[in-house]
Amino acid sequence: MELQDSKTKIVRETFPSETISIIGDLLAGIILSLLILPLESFVVLILMIPALLSLRGNLSGPFIARTSRDLVIGNFSIRSWIENILATYTLSIITAFFIGFFSLILNLFFFKLTILSYQYFFTIPIISIILALSISIPTSTGLNYIVFKKGLNPNNIINPVMTAIDDFSTVLCFFLSIIMLGVP
């Protein structure tokens, strides 16, 4: 019976957060389309979006998991949290650089568009991901803590909710970095 209760509890905790994730991702996609479709550089910029969203998920997901693990097993400390943050930012910046590099290569070989200066291919993903992580890290840590204190399993709830929040913030930070840099 305990196994059945465990399955039921997991479904009960996870289903609402997955619903939030799906709705949030749909809205983030709509907002992204509305924000960057009118831009002259849309064709080039759209190359970066899937990689940035994937990067955000691949790096903030493990950050969230490590934070919730530390809370659950009672090993959460400021030192380990700061190390986790530094590792996440370092990996993000390195990977954002490669997103820019591969976007530039794809543009040069397949599209041959000269809408953007080469520097934008690197600065847009780096600025976008740094801004997005600056929202994601404190939000996910706070949510992990709140959910854990309420006696729920953060591993079942936080990742799906943060997917929606992170996708929204990545889209908005992407657009904000485009505006800040004056991209046409």
The reply to whether 22 falls in a domain is: yes
**Termini Cα distance of the chain:** 61
Span 57-97, pLDDT tens digits: 777 888 888 898 888 888 889 999 999 999 999 999 999 99
Span 13-34, pLDDT tens digits: 778 877 887 887 788 778 877 8
- Beta strands (DSSP E) in the chain are none
The reply to whether 3 falls in a domain is: no
CATH value at residue 62: 1.10.357.20
The reply to whether 138 falls in a domain is: yes
Provide the whole-model pTM.
Answer: 0.81
The reply to whether 2 falls in a domain is: no
Q: How many CB atoms lie within 10 A of CB 129?
A: 28
pLDDT value for 77: 92
Q: How many domains does the chain have?
A: 1
Q: Which residue has the tokens 């969230």?
A: 64
The reply to whether 12 falls in a domain is: no
Range of the domain at 35: 18-181
The reply to whether 49 falls in a domain is: yes
Span 97-135, pLDDT tens digits: 999 999 889 888 877 766 778 899 899 999 999 999 999
Q: Which segment of 2-6, 40-44, 89-93, 172-176 scores lowest on mean pLDDT?
A: 2-6
The reply to whether 5 falls in a domain is: no
The reply to whether 175 falls in a domain is: yes
Q: How far is CA 181 from CA 125, 128, 135, 157, 173, in A?
A: 12, 11, 20, 36, 12
Pick from 96, 98, 115, 102: nearest CA to 43: 115
